[in-house]
Amino acid sequence: MRLKDYPEIIRAAWAGFDHTIGVKFVEDISAKVSTNHVFRVTLDNDDKVVAKLSYFGKYEHFKEDHRIIQALSNNLLYPFENVVAKSLVKNNQVYTYRYQEDFVDTWVVFYNPIRAAQRLPRRLGEEHIRKLGRETAKFHQACFRASHSLPKSSKNLRTDIQHLLDILDTDTGSYEHRGNISILKRQCDIFMKNIQRLNVSGFDKMPVFVDWNIGNFSVTEDLKLFSRWDYDWFRVSSRIMDFYFFSRVVSNVGDRTVFSYLIGPLMEDRFMMFLEEYHQIYPLTENEVLFMKEAYRFFILNYVIKYGKYFFHRAYCTKLQKEAYELYFPSIDGFDSDKILRKLKL
């Protein structure tokens, strides 16, 4: 399926939603870094909607994710009731469209364009960091309260890592990860044992969006969270899964054009400042702090090793996977959980 064919799929998807209004044109606004493609759709009456097209994973998971996101957007209370974009609904269900032909299997969902307010500066000052820490804690609290109204999610940390182990036992997995099988199995084993030891299944579960960065959410003048878009990497899990990416937002480097998974941002004093403010609003437990190391390990195993070839261009995926063995995995043991525990007086 060529990219230029996608607008035709978008048009067919829209016709399935509402054949009484035509599509004037379809504009590709994708970040072009993953298997999701985003389009701005202008209708004949000049109304606009946003379409997301995806072909990664399973259609059932695609539908499940958007049902959960929609339930979240409908159950978040003031002042976060308009933070998350709402999908278009038909017959009381989130409308999704599946296109299948030969070897092509791709899916579309529409949602209302979300208004953006102010962007954060590319590098945050101390005041920004402290306010963002407090605001994030309040948003996580709101997500946790709303989580009781959400459909169940079929994905969890354990099943994702078990899936990687299953892949490693196949001929394809053995070939793709040749020379590193024993390293990966050891890392998976450490993760499985530690999430059991820390009782991660007992942590607060909430919808977390994982890939927060300066470019995909907006704030008011007084740094209140205003809107968030881009549904990539969504899951229902521990709030700790969001923290590595918030550490990148507040990092001394600031907004970065070249993405990396280096563990350094988690240990910066600027992130300690963020956590101090967060902890005052929505206190963390000792086990949650200890889990930060395992959340980082999970990102490397699941998103760099297992899914990297789907999320990133081939050359960049090769670079990240090479760094995983040379930099990321070796750096995990150097993560200083005690520094955070002392800072938070846990």
* pLDDT tens per residue across span 327-345: 999 999 999 999 999 999 9
**Cross-strand partners of 23:** 43
Cis ω on the peptide bond leading into residue 207 (within 30° of 0)? Answer: no
Q: What is the mean pLDDT of the chain?
A: 90
pTM: 0.91
- Residue 149 CB: number of other CB atoms within 10 A? 11
- pLDDT per residue as tens digits for the range 54-111: 888 889 988 998 999 899 999 999 999 989 888 999 999 999 999 998 888 999 999 9
Structure confidence at residue 160 as a pLDDT band (50, 70, 90) = very high
pLDDT of 32 higher than 70: no
DSSP state of 240: G
- For 144, residues 6+ apart whose C-beta sits below 8 A from its C-beta are 204, 205, 206, 239
Percent of the chain with pLDDT over 90: 70
**Cross-strand partners of 98:** 107
CB 191 within 8 Å of CB 294: yes
Task: Give the per-residue pLDDT at 1.
Answer: 46
